[in-house]
Amino acid sequence: MVPVIKDKILNHLGAETVPLVVVGNKTDIKPQMKQVTPEEGKKLAEELGCAWTEASARLNENVGKSFELLIAEIEKQQNPNEPPGGGKCTVM
């Protein structure tokens, strides 16, 4: 389902790529209650060529990290020739 939604977004925007992050939500619930395993989430992220993380909004775990990853994906797309995490500051 996710690849279909991604394709619809790309078609609507007329773009070849769009920054994405796959976030496995509700990490606070029991493993047997999860509908998607972490392995499935990681595999999907690999197939889509994007970042992956897990989060729990209820426990406020990795919520900020999810947004940080999305910002990093946006910056990577806007500056493809710049090394990841590379800053423009030099400390002497």
Q: Which sequence spans correspond to the domains of the chain?
A: 2-78
Structure tokens at 11: 């078609």
CA 77 – CA 28 distance, rounded (Å): 32
* Contacting residues for 83 by C-beta, under 8 A, at least 6 apart: none
Q: Mean pLDDT throughout 36-64?
A: 93
pTM over 0.85: no
Neighbour-count burial for 49-58, b at 16+ CB within 10 Å, e otherwise: ebbbbbbeee
pLDDT of residue 56 exceeding 90? yes
Structure tokens at 9: 């977004």
pLDDT score for 80? 77
**How much is the mean pLDDT over the chain?**
87
Summarize pLDDT for 6-20 with one digit per residue, the tens: 899 899 999 888 899
Helices (H), 14-83: 38-48, 63-78
What is the fold of 2-78?
A: Rossmann fold (3.40.50)
pLDDT score for 62? 94
